[in-house]
């Protein structure tokens, strides 16, 4: 199977580009690493085989056309949800604002998340809702710093937890939603992604990435045929060939077997003292 691997899907135009890059744009096979509440808008489209490494563990299904109405969010008893003149939505408890609600962009009613604050104004926790209105996650804070992210299945049971220290995820756990027994733990987000990718793609699959960031790290131990379709300049801001690209071309990074570049970028690489056996030129989605 041919997959497109992306870190995240954040905008409509990006999604159209991802589908166009797929071997079958009408039935794309897309793997994403970051799970976001809005992902269901894209992966819920007919014909899309969308796999998110986190949603795969929570067994989340997408329900296009559904959403959570803005006044259907859990608030303390007797609290009021009030729409301000500027369009923002406040939650008041005994006359004091204790949180704000945010809607999905370009909607008038669909709740995206609720952000509760402490009496001193610092963040307490955020409850996020998937695009179809189901509870997606809770983000917990202490002294205005995020400490934990909890991702739920559609029975609102915790399955995956990210623990943070100084804004860095340094522990990921996967638990049984019924017994809460920890089934797996990872010392980093990269280790989590790497293990999940190994369980999805096989030696018979082809995976295409555009960037040499977290996507490249996630493919580290896969057996699939992996393609880098270079979406950025081969040169960094100092005019040098990007370090990861050098390592790919010299086979110090063996994860990528094929590098696809534009004709202009090929000319740039020709001027470098680098092997180009892995490189092919792409023009209008056709390899030359």
What confidence score (pLDDT) does residue 108 get?
A: 81
pLDDT tens for 82-95 read 888 777 799 999 88
Question: Of 65-79, 209-223, 267-281, where does mean pLDDT reach its minimum?
Answer: 65-79
Residue 168: left if φ>0, alpha if ψ -120 to 50, beta else—which one? Answer: beta
CATH of domain 80-188: 3.90.930.1
pLDDT, average across residues 1-23: 92
Only one residue has tokens 């990007």, namely: 242
Question: Could you state, in order of their start, the residue ranges of all structural domains in the chain?
Answer: 2-63+191-287, 80-188
Q: What is the pTM of this model?
A: 0.88
pLDDT at residue 288 above 70?
A: no
CATH of domain 2-63+191-287: 3.40.50.2000
Cα diameter, the chain = 71
pLDDT tens for 261-283 read 999 999 999 999 999 999 999 87
The answer to whether 113 and 37 are in contact (CB under 8 A) is: yes
Name residues whose C-beta falls within 8 Å of residue 127's C-beta, 6 or more positions apart in sequence: 73, 74, 113, 114, 116, 135, 137, 138
């Amino acid at each position: 199977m041919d997959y497109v691997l992306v870190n995240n899907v954040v905008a409509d135009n990006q999604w159209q580009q991802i589908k166009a890059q797929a071997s079958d744009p009408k039935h794309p096979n897309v793997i994403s690493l970051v799970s976001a509440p809005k992902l269901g808008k894209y992966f819920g489209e007919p014909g899309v085989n969308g796999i998110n490494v986190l949603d795969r563990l929570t067994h989340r299904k997408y329900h296009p056309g559904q959403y959570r109405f803005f006044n259907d969010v859990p608030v303390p008893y007797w609290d009021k949800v009030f729409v301000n003149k500027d369009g923002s939505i406040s939650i008041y408890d005994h006359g004091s604002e204790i949180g704000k609600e945010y809607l999905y962009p370009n909607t008038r009613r669909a709740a995206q998340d609720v952000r509760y604050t402490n009496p001193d104004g610092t963040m307490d926790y955020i409850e996020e809702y998937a695009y179809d209105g189901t509870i997606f996650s809770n983000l917990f804070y202490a002294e205005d710093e995020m400490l934990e992210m909890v991702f739920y299945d559609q029975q609102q049971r915790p399955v995956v937890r990210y623990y943070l220290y100084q804004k860095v995820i340094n522990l990921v756990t996967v638990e049984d939603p019924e017994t809460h027994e920890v089934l797996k733990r990872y010392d980093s987000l990269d280790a989590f992604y790497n293990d999940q990718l190994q369980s999805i793609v096989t030696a018979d699959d082809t995976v295409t990435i555009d960037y040499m960031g977290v996507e490249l790290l996630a493919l580290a131990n896969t057996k699939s045929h992996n393609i880098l379709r270079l979406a950025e300049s081969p040169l960094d801001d100092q005019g040098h060939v990007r370090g990861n690209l050098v390592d790919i071309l010299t086979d110090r990074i063996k994860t990528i077997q094929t590098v696809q570049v534009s004709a202009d970028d090929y000319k740039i690489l020709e001027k470098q003292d680098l092997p180009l056996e892995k490189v092919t030129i792409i023009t209008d989605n056709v390899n030359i």
